[in-house]
Structure 1
């Protein structure tokens, strides 16, 4: 297999630095090296990115960026616009005198230990203008993940205009590059497709403002020399932490080299940066793997649980939601009965969804009420406190749905503060889902949105969970607050969201929250600093969910992915629907009265098994074994700490008549351990038909020979527990 590495030789003579200042900077994990070198012209170049170099002499031997003609396509780490670089820049600044050119020179660098790794800080400066860029890299050695971002500031007399502001630039040299992207729509999230990158630019971006990832997700995979493969080959997985408009640029130059530029989308977003202010770009997180996407995913999962995801090492609650069961039509009596059902089912929490609030314009449909966050007296005469008390009496925790960033045109809030909504002053208003987005660039609006959570928690300190929704992109794009600085709306709005979330996390650090956005249109790792989990999709058809959960699992651990058992595709069995949901964070969204006695008993047993196996499913290493994209079946497994226990999931989707069924070869086990195989999640009165059930095999056998877990049946499933003896 060809080694993926990047070499840089450039020749510049306009600016020289002494030999002792020709610094080599190494950003290193256990398996990856990013080597940067300062050329004699004082500029910083990427010299190498690839598998870790084992000998210091090899780093010294790397060709140095020695200066000269920029047309030699030197790989500058943070290239500015307007100079000699012919391709997409990392940063573009228009200075006070109208000069659009920025050339950054190396000033200094330092490294220091941080939680889980090493942070490298590199300072660059333009020698003609008082403009500074600081590059940050945090390398997590054990997880083999690098996180990087930049900060831009200046000391010019007047504001400068930023028209490009990238998180980083990475360069690759291979014969071919294959991009896997994740397109989306409502109920069709993370549809995976792969294409070869040819000369020129391929751009993945979003312009929606909020609910930003409705059409494209903020992550990608790159395969080098061949398409990214689950089990082998050189791949890069990358994702950006930005809950708004993002853009990935993939540019293949005239010599067949690839530059990758993750950034906030500059669309309609020229940013006026005042002197001494700091513009911080989003974090870009990436990992390189020589063992395919499976290994790369496990890297990111471990990193997320350890360092990024809110309460990444903590527990997650199973739940019963009321939405699919009741919609908007419920009252206190109905909800109290559902709380009792939640306890009977064995889940930890009852979650009250949409429709509980507003009085002048009661929330009886999606046309009214957003913004008026008081309980509807006709439905809930005793308010939220009575529900919290009823849940406590039933023996479950209580969670509640909110959509605090949105406003309905029929609401008391809109009557009082129409200027708080993003909308155009002189055109007919377009309503997406009959609502508008509140202007979070406005500090008063930030106070209001924080107050939605704060008021509920002040009145009801025992509320144990928030489902935070965001159903509309930004439409009618105009901020009454920003006035003449409209081009900063998209950026300032997202920063306003973060300001609110910071305040919520500071005051209520231990309250779990689900990130929802009409399904999975918000799932980035910046937002997930504040949320314990996210809702993958409103589509809970188990067949579709297999594809959706497969796609999201490329970047997110199981404990971050919510999956509910509902009545979608009721032609499939309750067992199949539950087994699909139980490979993520399990919940239910249906009334128990829909279930037969055997189905209810099955669900109770499945919940008990899930709770018992949480340490394996939610914190174990994921191995994707059989892809739904490659046939009529799917299989994944989780391996717990110390390889003592594992859980295998096998799903028959739509098998062909009489097709050959191959054994599934397991992964991640200890080859020298002996494992007892037991099928769990069986319907009452049914015995396992798994030939290996109750038998013991070595990990070596299970990984080389495998288990016959697939069947020829439509929408069938098996859950198998493996325990080291």
Structure 2
């Protein structure tokens, strides 16, 4: 049992292998006492009791799910409007339940257990006697993972309608927050996952997305860290929302140094009509504690998301090495050209060919045909099945690109169903990339997309699907929803997407689905539940990818990070980097190519062949190993990371130097995650002789590095215990 209850004291102690989370019922309110390194369960937990100044009221009380309107003036976790227009509620504790394992969330992706003994779940019931609002706070703690997973269910048990204006997933007060800093990921298209770190001053520090997707601009993740915490040391508290739509995360520091951290659905432009007897389920927030710095936090998230969020046949499988035709041909291709790229790939050991955009409708550019999911017989006279069979005959599997959430005004579908897009009657329909967004709140729209895709899957040997989504939501309204429910449209869109993904991935489990949204605009845990990998960024430049992949790895496992070698000059930034450099960066994720292999010289093909052979030897370690970040691209000219097996007997180290340094000093790289008592055979990936080194020496003294005096140098080393 991971949850201890002292009923007389109203105290609940959630305990994992290395963490404790403690709360107490005080005057009918759940009050936060402690979250951090593991405390043993003893009769006395001295020092944890909440002491607030006499007469201070709720504004000084560290709470678990705070409300507004009765004395707490900080950000609330929820807000409900009554039929009389008032917005004051007071939740009071009613009781608790402890469940073995972890219940699923209705209609939402969630972390799961495979055996009941992996976790325990605490449910606390709170209620407002006046209006009948009942809120159940749900906490799951894993026995061997330092994570608490939180969500809330809000139910109307009164006699009149309620309207939810705010319903966050988790809120927590740090009474000792005066030294906390906030870390989060920001960016834009082609520049995702920039790591930001800032101290928390009095007032609020907020990140959010109002775009209808989790967004390029800000990811639904934040961490609070103690001042001085580093990659490998210090207290870190991670907050990750399992959701793919608009979100908010805010840390508010008050005048007394306490910090309230809250995360959940974005309450901007949100309302939800809750009729008598109806219930609203929030997405869940995965909260991780690490006493071993940011790296320790990341490894907890990686293991949890890789094995207890991702699902399906490919969860634990090695992912195939692919070649995608997009940057090779864009829209200009025919069947023979596609097969010629696949043929070259087969000679080099590549395992999967992916046909990207342009195969359907009359799609010669990105201004038409989205929604018309039937083959363009001008380009493919014998259809997709013919191309797939020819590719399969070469020994490669066949994959296909879709953008199923979009509709082009210039399409047969739009001419037939102009009301099927998100829109507001009488308002203009804002186009982005010459496209509109399908209204996934409508079942007939989801059914049409399912039937269109299923017709292809049932007739073409598809092994992989790249599911793209290339614009944000505007004119967020639905023709099917009544006026009083229009504020629900954005969330209902996401719920409709999840319903479709659940259906299609369950019916076609043999297909490896990869999420994409102009690169990383929807790189979030919600999508990983249905698709175990994501196209990380449309920027494939090796130098830019160092930062993008490093930042993304702060919370997301390497097995989810799609990484490809593309041609030079790079199509996004025009940079020319060596093929070895680009390959080493891409081999640090789910490896592939996005270029025309038929245009390579014989020398370049030999390099590709070696890269493919090398990745096949190490991909299980890259995709399933523990990641240790050694040098940050945000802090200097060098980047380094390494992958270590759980038993610490094998490791793989990558090191990158962007610009040459004149007359450089001697360089060494201190490793992490090894067993100091073991001897490791260190073998360079491309050239040089192997040598035997102790794990203690490699971590305390380091691994010597030497490069030619050129820009864009990289190398890798395989370590094997003897």
The TM-score bracket by the shorter chain reads over 0.9
Q: 1:493 & 1:664 partners in 2: Cα distance?
A: 48
CA positional deviation for 1:65? 7.7
Classify the secondary structure of the residue corresponding to 1:625.
Answer: strand
Pair 42,424 (structure 1): closer, same or farther in 2 beyond 3 Å: closer
1:701 deviation in Å? 1.1
Deviation by residue 1:479-512 (Cα, 9 ceiling, x = unmatched): 2222412211111111111111111122123421
The answer (yes or no) to whether the contact 1:565–1:578 under 8 Å persists in 2 is: yes
Of 137, 154, 164, the match for 2:139: 137
Structure 1 residues 438-447 or 658-667, which shifts more? 658-667
Q: CA deviation at 1:218?
A: 1.2
Q: CA offsets, 1:290-310, max 9 Å, x none? A: 211011101111111220023
Taking the TM superposition and a 5 Å limit, the aligned residue runs for 1:49-448 are 49-59=35-45, 62-63=48-49, 70-71=57-58, 73-114=60-101, 115=113, 116-172=118-174, 173-210=176-213, 212-226=214-228, 228-310=229-311, 311-358=314-361, 362-448=362-448
Do 1:615 and 1:640's aligned partners in 2 also have CA atoms closer than 8 Å? no
Q: Name the SS of the counterpart of 2:250 in structure 1.
A: strand
Q: Kindly state the Cα deviation for residue 159 of structure 1 after the two structures are TM-superposed.
A: 2.3
Q: CA RMSD for the aligned pairs?
A: 1.8
**Which secondary structure state, in structure 2, belongs to the residue aligned with residue 184 of structure 1?**
strand
Number of the residue aligned with 1:44:
30
Q: Distance in 2 between the 1:184 and 1:80 partners?
A: 33
Size of the aligned set, in residue pairs, is 691
CA distance in 1, matches of 2:649, 2:137: 42
Q: Is the 8 A contact 1:175 1:225 kept in 2?
A: no
Q: How does 1:576-615 map to 2 (within 5 A)?
A: 576-615=581-620
Q: Is the 8 A contact 2:373 2:453 kept in 1?
A: no
CA distance in structure 1 between the partners assigned to 2:645 and 2:93 by the alignment: 46
Q: For the Cα contact (< 8 Å) 1:242–1:526, is it kept in 2?
A: yes
Compare 567-576 and 518-527 and name the one that shifted more: 567-576
**Would the alpha carbon gap of residues 589 and 157 (structure 1) be closer, same or farther in structure 2, given more than 3 Å must change?**
same
CA offset digits 1:509-531 (Å, max 9, x no partner): 34211110001011111111000
Partner residue in 1 for 2:674: 669
Q: 1:471: Cα distance to partner? A: 0.1
2:698 is matched with which residue?
A: 702
Match of 2:490 in 1: 490
Q: Tell me if structure 2 keeps the 8 A contact 1:616–1:641.
A: no
Equivalent in the alignment of 1:481: 480
- Rounded to whole Å, the distance in 2 between the matches of 1:508 and 1:123 is 39
Q: String of CA shifts for 1:336-368, please: whole Å, max 9, x gaps.
A: 11221221121221011000000xxx0000000
Shift of 1:450: 2.1
Matched, 1:719 2:716: yes
Distance (Å, rounded) in 2 between the aligned partners of 1:659 and 1:392: 50
Q: Check conservation: 1:652, 1:713, Cα contact below 8 A.
A: no
1:21 Cα deviation (Å)? 5.1
Normalized against structure 1, the TM-score is what? 0.92
Between the aligned partners of 1:304 and 1:511, the Cα distance in structure 2 is 20
In structure 1, list runs of 5 or more residues that go unmatched. Answer: 1-18
Q: CA deviation at 1:72?
A: 5.5
Distance in 1 between residues matched to 2:255 and 2:208, nearest whole Å: 24
Structure 1 residue 22 displacement after superposition: 4.0
Taking a change above 3 Å as real, the CA distance of residues 570 and 341 of structure 1, as seen in their structure-2 partners, is: farther
C-alpha distance in 2, partners of 1:615/1:517?
Answer: 26
SS at 2:504 equivalent: helix
Does the 8 Å contact 2:341/2:598 carry over to 1? no
**Whole-Å Cα distance in 1 between the matches of residues 399 and 525 of structure 2?**
23
* Counterparts of residues 449-460 of structure 1 (less than 5 Å): 449-460=449-460
Separation (CA, whole Å) in 1 of partners of 2:491 and 2:161: 17
Paired with 1:165 and 1:405, the residues of 2 have a C-alpha distance of 26
Q: Secondary structure at the match of 2:43?
A: helix
Paired residue secondary structure (1:577): helix
Please give the alpha-carbon distance, in whole angstroms, between the structure 1 residues aligned to 2:408 and 2:260: 43
Q: Secondary structure, in 3 states, of the residue corresponding to 2:372?
A: coil
- How far the C-alpha of 1:429 sits from its partner, in A, is 2.8
CA contact (8 A) 2:59 2:71 kept: no
| Conserved? CA contact 1:168–1:284, under 8 Å | yes
Contact 1:404 1:452 in 2 (8 A): no
Q: For residues 99 and 68 of structure 1, what CA distance do their matches in structure 2 show?
A: 26
Deviation for aligned residue 1:661: 4.1
Deviation at 1:64, TM superposition (A): 5.4
Q: Pick one of 636, 640, 655 that aligns with 1:631.
A: 636
Secondary structure of residue in 2 paired with 1:222: strand
The within-5 A match list for 1:566-577 is: 566-567=566-567, 568=570, 569=574, 571-577=576-582
Check conservation: 1:678, 1:720, Cα contact below 8 A: yes
- For the pair 1:642 / 2:639, whether they are aligned, the reply is no
